[in-house]
Structure 1
Amino acid sequence: MTRLAEWNTPASEPAPPNSVLGRMIAILDAVKESGGPVTITDLALHTGLPKSTASRMVADLTSQRYLDRSDDGVVLGLRLFELGARASLPRRLLAAAGPVIRNLCDATGERVGLWVQQGSDMVAIAAVPGRLPMLPARAGMRSPALTTASGKAYLAFCADPGVVNRIAAPLVEEAAAHFRDELTHVRAAVLATDIDVSYPGIAAVATPVMSPDRVVLGAISIAGPSGAMDPAGVSPLVRAAGATVTRRLAAA
């Protein structure tokens, strides 16, 4: 195996990066360029960092799964690959869900949105306007994951308890227990609702969008006037839309 010390190293030692972020990026780049496991000594030599600093940075990056340890050194960790997959997620989701959300809007006349989770919010990556002119319908708009139908549809199937705990953190004990009970019902029904809570006068129904291996990717929601749109009436259409997107993702 070729060691980093055997690369075409310039005659002068590299200038070490000044910032913490710069040091982390330098280490990740060095591991990437090595093409295999790399030792702390070689990382220090290639980045110009003191060995003790390189060791500390590697420990931090390993604890966050950006790096992983092997018998021969460290290699890139799974979290980088997860982030890469997440970066391409909106494009893949849009391709699979575009015709589905348009058909759902045509069938109901209501606003339909495709959402992904980001921090404590759900962010729309696509939206088709309905009969509510006061309700925004644009990509990039944000809604709170804690109260919206799309947020609850996503959180009910989220496998990371840290995400759910962080979003539910503002709730007092009784409200938090009620929220978790609601997520249990959402999982059973594969459907979430929000009636006049996030936005007065507006009812919303949402269902999760799942990957072919049953990992939640986002949510499809439909929203309309709470006095005119029947949540029970549109629920089968919304649930079917989510299932259709999942099938289209599997076939892509």
Structure 2
Amino acid sequence: MADRAGGPEGDIRVVVRCTQILGMFSREVRAVRLKDVAAELDLGRTTVYRYLTSMASAGLLERVDEGYALGPLAAQLGALALTDSDVVDIAGPYLRELSDAAGETSILAVWGDRQPVVVRTAEPFDRSLHISVRVGQTLGADAAQSAVFAAYGADGGAVADELAARDGVTAQRVRDRIRRTAQTGIAVSDTVTSGTRGIAVPVFDRDGDVAATIALLGTVHTLPGALDSAQATELRGTAARLSRALGYSGAVAAAGPSGGS
């Protein structure tokens, strides 16, 4: 059962084992347990534990109640793979125009394995101080982008429960934001501890599905939370133009009461 890795052959074995562990994840399998990995790889639990903890230290996995889930580095790599999608290729000029017009950082995010992932950003040229977000960063339950994906998804309530449970925030607060987003078509999220504010709207593809979210991120002092502010108007207009560029021909409207139930 021992899996001693030393030298080139050992290094290759380690890569193979890590790949096998990552291959156990799927849309249905969001977390793996030590005993299941040991059985799948036919290895001792002590050896598997070393693999799992090393992968968690590297960011490929993260410890959760159910065992181990995909970590931030895995999400970042997934985001880089998603850069081949149409919306990421097309969105660059739209983000640049939005950022310069609104004077805030603009963000494009797509839905990753379990949460939104940042795939492209733009920062305003004429503002020396602004908030930066790295490509590959995953967004939590309180993010405006999470509310948009949940509001326009098949089961916003289930998404709210999953996001809130994972991040340790109040599920009702997440549900309330999703409901408001479904009614208005725009999400607003304030992070009081850091003084930041995000506003986000959906981007639709030719089939009318949400391909991504586009958002503005600023401080509570520079980015208004009002849904009819100049920045919110710019954001909505940019999302509508980007949606049309993706082939969407419908009207950009609120999700309706079913989206945030």
| Shorter-normalised TM range | 0.5 to 0.7
**1:140-198 deviation line (CA, Å, top 9, x unaligned):** 22221x1011121222111255544422334889x32342232121012110011224x
Quick one: which of 60, 83, 105 aligns to 1:111?
105
Q: How does 1:66-145 map to 2 (within 5 A)?
A: 90-130=84-124, 131=127, 133=129, 135-144=131-140
SS in 1 for 2:247: helix
Q: Does 2:241 align with 1:244? A: yes
Distance 2:82 2:194 in 1: 34
Q: Is this contact kept in 2: 1:155–1:183, CA < 8 A? A: yes
* SS of aligned partner of 2:240: helix
Whichever residue aligns with residue 236 of structure 1, its letter is: T
Letter in 2 for 1:110: E
Could you tell me the TM-score, scaled by structure 1's length?
A: 0.57
8 Å CA contact 2:100–2:123 kept in 1: the answer is: no
Q: Hey, what does 2:176 align to over in structure 1?
A: 181
Is the CA contact (8 Å cut-off) linking 1:158 and 1:164 kept in structure 2? no
Question: Who is 1:196 aligned against?
Answer: 191
- 2:133 partner letter: A
Equivalence for 2:253: none
Between structure 1 and structure 2, the one with the greater Rg is 1
- Cα shift readout 1:121-149 (whole Å, capped 9, x = no counterpart): 321111012447563233222221x1011
CA–CA distance in structure 2, aligned partners of residues 123 and 137 of structure 1: 11
Report deviation, 1:213: 2.2
1:218 maps to amino acid: A
- Determine the structure 1 residue equivalent to 2:217: 223
The TM-score normalised by the length of structure 2 is 0.55
Distance 2:128 2:198 in 1: 12
Give the residue type in structure 2 aligned to 1:249.
L
Amino acid at match of 1:137: V
Instruction: Please give the alpha-carbon distance, in whole angstroms, between the structure 2 residues aligned to 1:124 and 1:171.
Output: 18
Aligned residues: 167
Aligned to 2:145: 150
**For 1:40-59, what per-residue CA distance to the aligned partner results, in whole angstroms no more than 9, with x for missing partners?**
xxxxxxxxxxxxxxxxxxxx
CA contact (8 A) 1:128 1:137 kept: no
Question: Does the residue aligned with 2:136 lie in a helix, a strand or coil?
Answer: coil
